[in-house]
Structure 1
Amino acid sequence: MKSPVRIAVTGAGNRARKYTQYILSHPGDAILIAAADPDIRRRERFAAETSLEASRLYATDEEMLAERADEIDAVIIASPDRHHYRQAMRALRHGCHILVEKPVACSSSEVADIAREATDRRLVAGVCHVLRYHPYFQTLHSLIAEGSLGTPVAIHHRISVGLDRALHTFIRGPWADSRMTSPPILSKCCHDADLLLWLTGATGATDINTMASPLFILRNDRPATAFLGVFQDSGATLAYLG
C-alpha cells in the first residue's frame, strides 16, 4: 500500500493553511510533519488548527530541516515571494521535493537554478498554478487541444483586481514595495500568464504590455497628513500611492 507523503510547511499564513486543510482531510494521501514561520502568532494559530505538537513548530526553515529532514518527503513553500528561492534551494539540498506558492522566484535566473537543482537531484519542483485544475479552464484546454474551436488567433483574458485587494495588497499592503517582494506582474498576473501559455501550447512570451493611469496613484496628490488618501471619481473610491 502506498505510504502517505510526509509534508512540512514553510510559511504558516493563509495559503499554507488552505493546503493544510487538504492534508488533514486526506490522511491516506499525506500527513503533516512540521511547520516553520518567524511569527509566533501564526505558529500558535497553525498549531491550534492542525494539532501539530509544539516540538514540530520552528521559527525558520533552516531549523526545521536541520532537525526533521529525514522525516520529510516534501515541503510546501508558502512564504513571502522574496524568500522562495533560498527556501526552495535549501529544501532540495536536503533531499525534499517542493511545492512552491506562485511565483516560484523573483527572477528567471532563480527559477532556472531551482529547476536545475531539482533535476540534478531527481526531485519534483512544483508550482501552485492552481487554476490549471479548475474545471472551467480544464474544459477550455481540452476544447482547444482537440481542435473543437479551431486554431486560436487571439485570446482576450481579463482579470480584475478588486478595490479592496488593490488597496490592502498593492497600495498599502505587503506587496506595495517591489524591492521587498515581487512586482504585480509576477505576484498577481503569473497565474494568467501561465494559463495563456498552457492554453495555447506556447513555450514563452516575447512581449508584455501593461496599461494603467497614473492619475489615481500619484504620490504628490496624497494629502500630507492622510494615512490613506482617497478621492471620488465616477462613483469609485481610488487610492493614492503613498
Structure 2
Amino acid sequence: MAMASSIISGTKNLFRKSNKPKDHPMSSEADTDPITLIVIGCGQRGKAYGRYALTSDACKVVAIAEPRPQTRKLYAEEHKVDATLVFKTWKDLHAASTDTLKTIGKRLADAVLITVQDHMHVEVALAFAEQGYHILCEKPMATTMEDCLRIEEAIHKAGIIFGMGHVMRYSPYSQEITKIVQSGTLGQLINIVQVEPVGYYHFAHSYVRGNWGREKDSSFALMTKCCHDLDIICHWMSPTPPVKVSSFGSLRHFHHRAKPKEAGDATRCLDCPLVYDCPYSAKRIYLDAVSRGNTGWPVSPLVDGVPDIENVTAALREGPYGRCVYESDNDVCDNQVVNLEFENGNTASFTMVAFTSAICERQLRMHFTHGEIIGDMNKYTVTDFKANKTKTYHPANEGGGHGGGDMGLIRTFVEAVRTGNQKLLGTDVDEVLRSHMTVFAAEASRREQRVVNCVEFEEKARSSLRETLAQTVLR
C-alpha cells in the first residue's frame, strides 16, 4: 500500500478517469482532461511520440521506464514526470501498476506507448494489455508470427484501443494519396511500385553497426525496416487482400569480402587510414556531425545523455558504432525486392536498398486505369488521362519524422483513446496482423526460393499456434 500511496500523493488527480469504459458518455469536463500516457522506452521513438505531449494539451506523459540513467533523467525532466513514476525497467513500472490496481483499483494512465527494442514488444504488450491499458506499439508488432498472433489475441481479449507504428499511413502526404485512391477519380488502381531508399549511412548506422544488424537480436530487415511499406501498399489495395508473394534479396556489400585492401587490418574506423575515403567512416558520420553542432540522430543513440566530442569519441573506440562496416557481425539483407499479387489480379512491387543518397524518402508510382500518381513523400504529381491534365501537390508538413507521420499517428491514437473509437486509426489489430503476415510470407519466399500463398501461409501459422497452445494445456 505504501507504493500506491506514494504514487497517488505525487500525481494528485492522475487516476481520475483511467478506468472509464470505452463507451462511457464523456462529460464536457472529462473532454478537457488530457489522455495520460506511459512511455516504455525513451529513445528515438519514445521521444518522437512523446513530443506531441509537449506541444498539445490533448495528452500528458505521466510515467516512464528507461534503463539509461541520463536518458531517463532528461526525459522525465522534459515531461515533468513525478519522481514516483520514473522507473528503470518496464517490469518495475508494471509492478507499480499491479500494486495500484490491487490496492485502489486504478491504472497508472490511460495508455501505454511501447517503444522498446523489437524483441521486447510481445512481453510488454501482453503484460499491459492484460491490465487494460490502451496500447500504441512501435513497429514491428513482434518479431515472430507466433508472438504477433499472441498479441492479436490479447488485444481482442482486453477490448482495448490498439495503434501500430505504421506511421506512413498518417502523414499528410500519404493521407492525401489515400483519398485519391479511395475516391475512384483515376479509375481502378492496378499496380503500385514503391522503393525504400534507406540511405547509405542510415543503413550502416542501424542495420550494420546498430540494433537491427543481427537477425537474432531483432528480426530480418524487411520486417524491422519495411513492414510499414508493405502495410501501406496493402492498405491502398484494400479491401482486396494479397494472395501470392515472391521475394529476392541478400547481404551484398557489408561483409568482410568487400573490405577495401587499403584498410588493412583495421577493425575500427578511428584506426583506419581510409577515414576520409570511406563513405561509411564512423568519424565522418558521427564525429564530424558533432563538430558541426548536430547532437540529434544519428549521433544521439551512441551515448546516454547529450553527445559531445569526448563521449562520442569514447563510444566509437569502445562501442559497436565505431566498428568497420566490413568487420561487423551483421547478417541482414542490404537489398531486397518483393512482388505481390492480389486477389483481383492487381500487382505491386517493393524494393528496399541501402545504397542511396536519399534517406527514407520513398519513391512511389501508382498506376490506375485512368491516371497515375508519382511521389517522393514530399510532393506527388497526379496525371488524369481523361482530362489530359497533370498537377503537382505539396502537402503540408507539421514537422516530425516520416513526413509528419509520427505526429499524425500519436495525435490520432490519443483521439481514438479519448473517444473510445478504434476506427479513427483507420486500422485494427486484425489488419495489422495480416500485413505483418505478408512480410513474414515474403521473407519465407526469399529464404525458400518459392512463391508463397499468403492465405495458406497465415492459416498454417494460426494452426501451429493452436497446436502449441493445446500442447501447453496438456502439459
1:13-67 Cα offsets, whole Å, 9 max, x none, are 111112111123222x222120001111210121222122222111111211221
Q: Retained in 2: the 8 A contact 1:230–1:237?
A: no
Q: Retained in 2: the 8 A contact 1:115–1:125?
A: no
SS at match of 1:159: strand
Q: Report what 1:45 is aligned to.
A: 74
State which of 138, 151, 154 in structure 2 corresponds to 1:114: 151
1:183-203 Cα offsets, whole Å, 9 max, x none, are 210111011111100011143
Distance 1:130 1:189 in 2: 11
Q: Report what 1:4 is aligned to.
A: 34
In the TM superposition, residue 230 of structure 1 has moved relative to its aligned partner by 10
SS at match of 2:192: coil
Q: Which amino acid aligns with 1:199?
A: W
Distance 1:46 1:116 in 2: 32
Structure 1 gaps of 5+ residues are none
State which of 206, 209, 213 in structure 1 corresponds to 2:244: 206
Q: 166-175 or 146-155, which moves further after superposition?
A: 146-155
Shift in alpha-carbon separation, 1:204–1:10, aligned structure 2, 3 A: farther
Distance 2:254 2:76 in 1: 40
Q: Retained in 2: the 8 A contact 1:6–1:33?
A: yes
Q: Report what 1:172 is aligned to.
A: 209
1:143-163 Cα offsets, whole Å, 9 max, x none, are 121212222222111110111
2:164 matched to 1:127?
A: yes
Structure 2 gaps of 5+ residues are 1-27, 99-106, 281-324, 329-475
1:109-157 Cα offsets, whole Å, 9 max, x none, are 2111111111111112210211111122112112121212222222111
Q: Retained in 2: the 8 A contact 1:75–1:97?
A: yes
Q: Which residues in structure 2 correspond to 1:23-38 (within 5 Å)?
A: 23-27=53-57, 29-38=58-67
Distance 1:164 1:221 in 2: 16
Aligned length: 237
State which of 198, 204, 227 in structure 1 corresponds to 2:268: 227
Runs of 4+ residues deviating >4 angstroms: 228-231
Q: Which residues in structure 2 correspond to 1:16-165 (within 5 Å)?
A: 16-27=46-57, 29-68=58-97, 70-165=107-202
Distance 2:327 2:198 in 1: 16
In the TM superposition, residue 4 of structure 1 has moved relative to its aligned partner by 2.3
- TM norm structure 1: 0.89
Distance 1:204 1:168 in 2: 33
Q: Retained in 1: the 8 A contact 2:267–2:327?
A: no
- TM norm structure 2: 0.47
SS at match of 1:209: strand
Distance 1:137 1:146 in 2: 14
Answer 1 or 2: higher relative contact order, Cα 8 Å, separation at least 6.
Answer: 2
Distance 1:52 1:206 in 2: 48
In the TM superposition, residue 212 of structure 1 has moved relative to its aligned partner by 4.8
In the TM superposition, residue 236 of structure 1 has moved relative to its aligned partner by 8.2
Q: Retained in 1: the 8 A contact 2:117–2:218?
A: yes
Q: Which amino acid aligns with 1:187?
A: T
Q: Which amino acid aligns with 1:226?
A: T
Q: Which amino acid aligns with 1:209?
A: S
Q: Retained in 2: the 8 A contact 1:35–1:56?
A: yes
Q: Retained in 2: the 8 A contact 1:102–1:187?
A: yes
Distance 1:169 1:205 in 2: 31
In the TM superposition, residue 221 of structure 1 has moved relative to its aligned partner by 4.0
Distance 2:244 2:70 in 1: 43
Distance 1:39 1:224 in 2: 34
State which of 231, 237, 240 in structure 1 corresponds to 2:279: 237
State which of 2, 5, 15 in structure 1 corresponds to 2:45: 15
Q: Report what 2:225 is aligned to.
A: 188
Distance 2:256 2:85 in 1: 45
Distance 1:204 1:85 in 2: 26
Distance 2:39 2:273 in 1: 38
Shift in alpha-carbon separation, 1:158–1:41, aligned structure 2, 3 A: same
CA RMSD of aligned residues (A): 2.2
Shift in alpha-carbon separation, 1:236–1:40, aligned structure 2, 3 A: closer
In the TM superposition, residue 210 of structure 1 has moved relative to its aligned partner by 3.6
